[in-house]
A and B are shown apart, each in its own frame.
Chain A
Amino acid sequence: MDFLVNILEQGLIFGIMVLGVYITYKLLDFPDLSVDGTFPLGACITASAMVSGLNPWIATILAFIGGSMAGAITGFLHVKLRITNLLSGILVMTGVYSINLRIMGKANVALFQQNTIFTSGISIIMVLLVLTIIIKILLDLFLKTKLGFLLNAVGDNPVLVTSIGLDIGKVKFLGLALSNGLVALAGSIMAQYQGFSDVGMGTGVIVMGLASIIIGEMVFKKLPLILPTTIALLGSILYKASTAFALRMGLPATDLKLITAIIVIGILAIYGKGISLPWKKRNRGGASLVATTKSI
């Protein structure tokens, strides 16, 4: 039971990061690599804010603001200086690393002595569930506003946005700031959850984020009325579960990454066509009947 709760906890924390990646990768069609830098940025800001005595919730909000600023820089590089999207992200990711070290003053800060958002007495999983669901609902509501629709349109049909006389650059700017704010928020929560902040925390975060989105989409897209943000969260939990099960299998410790990959391949091989409700019969059209039915 504890085992499943732990998966859910980490899945939710990384889920907030995946929501951020979802905004750039799916809505803006912008592969944003700055995430690898902004995730530890959130952790570092929170760590040094908490060590200097700030309330943990304020420290967490500061992380969101810091992340948004880093995201805005990615936007500035891309929109104003016309650097390609990949390189803008890489530049910010690279630069932020040094800033992270500056913020903390060293590579690793322990937070065991500090009050965190989890020391309120409420169980960790409850705090995380409430926090993640609030963030998800806020994001859902935001995406339904005019600005939210614009965000979506920039990725799908940039010409349309320009033709109604709006500036794509501004929308991208906003999307990147929001996305990296969420990623830094996840980093901040992760640092408080694991009791320390380390500048090496961000390695591979973008890979995890993209994998979660794609797994979530392939497995859950057929469920009726499911929102993309829910898919992102479920994908994150599923990806974390893969690592956790790989650890549990008792195979040689050196094979962890390979086994994680194989479990993910397995999930996609079996459910890759999407889980659909059993009572919902597939409508098979004439074309598919002709293609799949054997001739007599």
Chain B
Amino acid sequence: MVGKRRLLAIVIMLLMAVVLWGCSSGEEASNDEGNKKVVQDDEIFKIGISQLAEHPALDGSREGFIDGLASKGFIDGDNISIDFQNAQGDIPTTQLIAQNLVSQEMDMIFAIATPAAQSAFNTTKEIPILITAVTDPVEAGLADSWESSNTNVTGTSDATPVKEQFALLQELVPKASKVGIIYNTSEVNSEIQVEKATEVAEELGIEIISSGVTNANEIPQALDALVEKVDVLYIPTDNLVASSMPLIVNKTNEKNIPVIGAERAHVEAGALATEGIDYYELGFQTGLMAVEIINGKEPTELPVSTMEEYKLIINEDSAQILKINIPESLKEKGELIKGGTAS
């Protein structure tokens, strides 16, 4: 009987394996092609991507990076090979991924988000590491300075122009005196932004009321308490908060409170406006830096850069719901989009 059960188990395992391989057969085929190319040409450049979690902003970074490479003629499966791994939110797994990529002798690692970048840097001090979605690489211990990392790390920072965003906030809501911020206390990137926002607000005579959360389930409660006290809500580039934008917009619209975002996706999800960053563009910019490294530059020669040009994006639907008149000057300067709101 034992024998039968074991046989059954093995059969089930095999079936699962076949089904799984079936799912990925397309990719497998392209991998084979890539391998053939490797045999023909030792020069093929291997890039490993380590991403912390699935998330619109981080996924956007990756797509931008791949498109950035492609724009200069480096295409996955053609003249470069890209191996993408995702830790699905588990920090110790980023360490395993980094070790995996190093032992597979990648020529370059692209790390998305701070813990992924730190794990990669901890694992190798030789292979060039490109980073993005890291707000402060110096604080994160990845670089000696923004101008020259002095390490094998370079890339882009998703630092947002808090000052410009608060100027925009005052232009759209001149009477705002209390601004609420909701952020995840586990994200060092958000902490930096909240600190900066508090500084900027103090200069402008605005009071900041911040509320920290640790998981998505805590957001409704925190928000309920916050909307009673503030005139405007400011959203930093926070992974957790970004995923809960629909909920946030619903609640704030009910109370007629405008939301100023920090990145394009926030406005697409219903925030009133932002003068901020776009993770796809930032990834694209990192892709172009990767091209320079493929062409022979050292990471130390490329300074860590921020978004070259911030974009003003305004959500017309939200403006209508909140009965806010967008000044013509802003309309001309910015991009108007629709959607993200319930009505």
| Chain A interface residues toward B at CB < 8 A | 2-3, 6, 10, 14, 97, 101, 106-108, 110-113, 190, 193-196, 198-201, 203-204, 240, 243-244, 247-248, 250-257, 259, 262, 266, 269-270, 272-273, 291-292
By a CB distance below 8 angstroms, the chain B residues around A252 are 23-24, 27
Q: How far is the CB of A287 from chain B (nearest CB, A)?
A: 13
Within the complex, which residue of B86, B99, B118 is in contact with A256, where a contact is CB–CB below 8 Å? B86
A194/B118 in contact, CB under 8 A = yes
Bound CA–CA A269/B15 (angstroms)? 13
By a CB distance below 8 angstroms, the chain A residues around B103 are 2-3, 6
A292/B1 in contact, CB under 8 A = yes
Bound CA–CA A181/B103 (angstroms)? 33
B16/A262 in contact, CB under 8 A = yes
B2/A273 in contact, CB under 8 A = yes
| Given A196-B118, A269-B13, 8 extra CB contacts under 8 A | A2-B102, A2-B103, A107-B186, A193-B95, A194-B92, A253-B85, A272-B9, A273-B6
B20/A262 in contact, CB under 8 A = yes
| Chain B interface residues toward A at CB < 8 A | 1-2, 5-6, 9-10, 12-13, 16, 20-21, 23-24, 27-28, 31, 51, 54, 83-93, 95-97, 99-100, 102-103, 114-115, 118-119, 121-122, 139-142, 185-188, 190-191, 214
Bound CA–CA A236/B326 (angstroms)? 58
Within the complex, which residue of B97, B121, B214 is in contact with A195, where a contact is CB–CB below 8 Å? B121
Known: A107-B186, A194-B122, A203-B89. A269 touches B9 (CB 8 A): yes
Q: How far is the CB of A153 from chain B (nearest CB, A)?
A: 34
B90/A203 in contact, CB under 8 A = yes
Q: How far is the CB of B285 from chain A (nearest CB, A)?
A: 23
B140/A254 in contact, CB under 8 A = no
Interface on chain A toward B: helix, strand, loop, or mixed SS? Answer: helix
A/B interface sample: 9 pairs, CB < 8 A: A6-B96, A107-B187, A107-B190, A108-B188, A199-B186, A247-B96, A250-B31, A250-B83, A254-B54
Within the complex, which residue of A106, A251, A273 is in contact with B191, where a contact is CB–CB below 8 Å? A106
Bound CA–CA A291/B2 (angstroms)? 12
A10/B95 in contact, CB under 8 A = yes
- In the complex formed, the residue of B with least CB distance to A200 is B186
Bound CA–CA A110/B122 (angstroms)? 10
B24/A108 in contact, CB under 8 A = no
B121/A112 in contact, CB under 8 A = yes
- In the complex formed, the residue of A with least CB distance to B140 is A110
B31/A110 in contact, CB under 8 A = no
By a CB distance below 8 angstroms, the chain B residues around A198 are 91, 115, 186, 188
By a CB distance below 8 angstroms, the chain B residues around A101 are 185
